[in-house]
Structure 1
Amino acid sequence: MPDVRGRVRRSATIAGVLLLLLLLGLPACAGRPAGAEPAPGASGVAPPPEPPYRGESIPAYDVVLTIGTDGVLYVRETITYDFDQAGEHGIVRHVPFRRGDRLFEVRGVSSSSSTGAPARVRTTRFLHDVQISVGDRHREVRGRQAYVIEYEVRRAFTPRADHDDLLWDAIGTSWDVPIGNAAVRVQAPVPLRHATCRAGAPRATTRCLRDRDGPYAIDFVQNALAPHEGMRIRVRLPKHAIAVPPPRYVPPRWTGDWTGTAVLALALAAVPLLARRPAPRREAGAGLAAAGTLLVVADAGDDVAASGPWAFSLGDRCLAGLALMIVGVGILCVRRIRSARFAAEDRPGGLQLVGRDVN
């Protein structure tokens, strides 16, 4: 009998605990109407995250790419930029003029604003891009502003054996803010039978949505682009449909072989040794620096004269010139530091040095 009583007591205790838990859970279930959604966090499911971008953004970005019969790509960009409450002087659009060894010609840049924002345009070439600055350095703008940028791109088409190719990022990947709605229209003087668009980060494979298709124009749209995501347009035209000038190529940035690279590395390694050993005279350092400068100018002068200051490449002569310049400037710096040190020691109260040649 004692065993039977123990089992009954344990069963009654478990049943009481289950009944108590059931009664505690009933008010929460009864207080919610049938079909109603649970409150955020009540069902254990976390609420959706807040949007990560609350500051500046581009709500709308519309681009029209018009292919001319002369092979020129005419670009018109309408950018609606929301500066939020932070004051800015304008926007900066980066348009590539160099892709690897390939050069493009970006010309005829103009800008305007339908919202009355300052729209003065300035262009600067830096590395591989043409930086188009639109705005006023002395005036800040806030809120939502609209800008229109127009320019031409020459030598953008690549001639093939049986067709001509165009590969162009319509909005670029240099924007640091998200883009809400982007639309790109491609217009051509001949029917567009082969035109595609890929959206996202570089080498992305997301297909853009096609809004409207016509025989001579195609519209691509894409929503919710994150910073540094673009829309790459590829167009294939029949051969001789337009006049395609030959593309321009320049040598790569680094054209030196192992010889020039080794000389430059030895020059860099020799600089710390100059501070530990007797350095040559100042005249030797000045001569080496001047000779190195002449080699650099002679090697890069042809590229700069033909394609501009940002088309130079580092060949063996240029690398050797840089090596001479590094050693020469190192000698001058060491001699100057030692001269200053000796002058400080020769002052009253310092160590007197007699017969020391610092020249």
Structure 2
Amino acid sequence: MPEVRGWFRGPVVTAGMLLLTTVLGLPMFALPAHAAPEPPPVAESIPTYDVVLTIRSDGLLHVRETITYDFDLGGEHGIVRRVSYRKKNRLFDIRDVRTSSSTGAPARAQTAKLLHDVQINVGDDRRRVRGRQAYVIEYDVAWAFTPYEGHDELLWDALGSDWDVPIGEAAVRVEGPVPLKRVKCQAGTAESATRCLRDRDGPYAVDFTQSGLRPRETMTIRVSLPKGAIKVPPPHYARPHWQGTWVGTAALALALAAVVLLARRPAPRPYAGETLMAVGTVLIVADLADDIMVRGFWAFSLGDGCLAGLALVITGAAAVGTRRSRTTEHAAVTGLGD
């Protein structure tokens, strides 16, 4: 029997060693899959946003913005800064836009007017940037000051309320050619605003700071200057988008009534409807073109001319539809008679 026990002893010991190694080795191979989870996605943000507003004696406002932007892992082609050039009917002239980057990111500037904003695209459509980048945007603003009887005033949205990412630390510095005695700053939104922290005061400069701005929150600066301290050109205004009066509204109402009448009368003469539509289209284009040609597409204003043109187009389309319907009915009756 010793030989039999010796014959079995070797395989049993070997099997035991293999089993022990397998049991001890399983956690070593299984744990890393759970011990090293994927890192959470990096959220985009603006860690710092520094603005310098320089009030010039010639009535221009010079703006210099230094924006530090954290991109996510996927990266972007750059940043987009929107500056309002129209608030209600008040116009501002955004000019001489210049951009750069201290971190070497592509910083080519492309500007376009979209709705009531000048959209400044900073970057390169062919290159993506990741991580933390710094951009500098500079521009001048004309017609920014409002003259009053006893003083001149600047009201300016320093950061813009279109950023959809949080801003960690924001600072706005206001510089003027005369002592700045009445300067205020509000942070947040129009519905919920708080006073900014007044950091430093000097005779010709005032600094404000704000921490933890949420998306869409901004810092609004209000400066009151003594009358005559700087040259203040008259403000510029655009015509309202809607200028229709009761005359144009009445013409449009008559056109809708004409649609009902045309459905009950004999077929209109050939090309009568097409003529009305052509004349109406000319009136609409003429009413829009006088504003668009001067200040761009988003400066359109709808007046009585446009409403009258729309009334003619509606009446003409109804006439064309009635004539075609009567022609189809006549053809059907003629075919049945044959």
TM-score range normalised by the length of the shorter chain: 0.7 to 0.9
Matched, 1:145 2:118: no
Could you tell me how far 1:321 is from its partner in structure 2? 1.6
Q: 1:194 to 1:259 in 2, by over 3 A?
A: same
Q: 2:231 aligns with which of 236, 243, 247?
A: 243
Could you tell me how far 1:268 is from its partner in structure 2? 7.0
Per-residue CA distance 1:306-334 (angstroms, 9 max, x = gap): 433322211111122233335546777x6
Per-residue CA distance 1:154-195 (angstroms, 9 max, x = gap): 000000111100000001111111111111110000000000
The whole-number CA distance in structure 1 between the counterparts of 2:259 and 2:61 is: 50
- For the Cα contact (< 8 Å) 1:198–1:204, is it kept in 2? no
Q: How does 1:108-119 map to 2 (within 5 A)?
A: 108-119=96-107
Q: How does 1:1-359 map to 2 (within 5 A)?
A: 55-264=43-252, 283-328=271-316
- For the Cα contact (< 8 Å) 2:42–2:73, is it kept in 1? no
Structure 1 residue runs without a partner (length 5+)? 1-52, 343-351
1:64 alignment partner, SS class: strand
State the TM-score, normalizing by the size of structure 2: 0.77
Could you tell me how far 1:299 is from its partner in structure 2? 2.2
Choose 313-322 or 287-296, whichever is displaced more: 287-296
The whole-number CA distance in structure 2 between the counterparts of 1:273 and 1:200 is: 56
Q: 1:220 to 1:280 in 2, by over 3 A?
A: farther
The whole-number CA distance in structure 1 between the counterparts of 2:69 and 2:287 is: 44
Could you tell me how far 1:275 is from its partner in structure 2? 10
The whole-number CA distance in structure 1 between the counterparts of 2:282 and 2:131 is: 52
The whole-number CA distance in structure 2 between the counterparts of 1:66 and 1:269 is: 59
Note the aligned Cα RMSD (angstroms): 3.0
State the TM-score, normalizing by the size of structure 1: 0.73
Q: 1:218 to 1:279 in 2, by over 3 A?
A: farther
1:298 alignment partner, SS class: helix
Could you tell me how far 1:203 is from its partner in structure 2? 4.2
Letter in 2 for 1:74: H
1:11 aligned partner: none
Q: 1:255 to 1:354 in 2, by over 3 A?
A: same
Structure 2 residue runs without a partner (length 5+)? 1-40
The whole-number CA distance in structure 2 between the counterparts of 1:168 and 1:198 is: 11
Per-residue CA distance 1:36-93 (angstroms, 9 max, x = gap): xxxxxxxxxxxxxxxxx96111111111100111000001111111112122111111
1:236 alignment partner, SS class: strand
Could you tell me how far 1:290 is from its partner in structure 2? 2.0
The whole-number CA distance in structure 2 between the counterparts of 1:355 and 1:250 is: 59
The whole-number CA distance in structure 2 between the counterparts of 1:272 and 1:171 is: 54
2:271 alignment partner, SS class: helix
The whole-number CA distance in structure 2 between the counterparts of 1:325 and 1:283 is: 13
The whole-number CA distance in structure 2 between the counterparts of 1:281 and 1:83 is: 65
Letter in 2 for 1:287: T
Per-residue CA distance 1:255-307 (angstroms, 9 max, x = gap): 11233235446657988999999986783443233212221233233333443
The whole-number CA distance in structure 1 between the counterparts of 2:260 and 2:76 is: 46
Letter in 1 for 2:160: G
The whole-number CA distance in structure 1 between the counterparts of 2:153 and 2:168 is: 29
The whole-number CA distance in structure 1 between the counterparts of 2:241 and 2:97 is: 27
2:249 alignment partner, SS class: helix
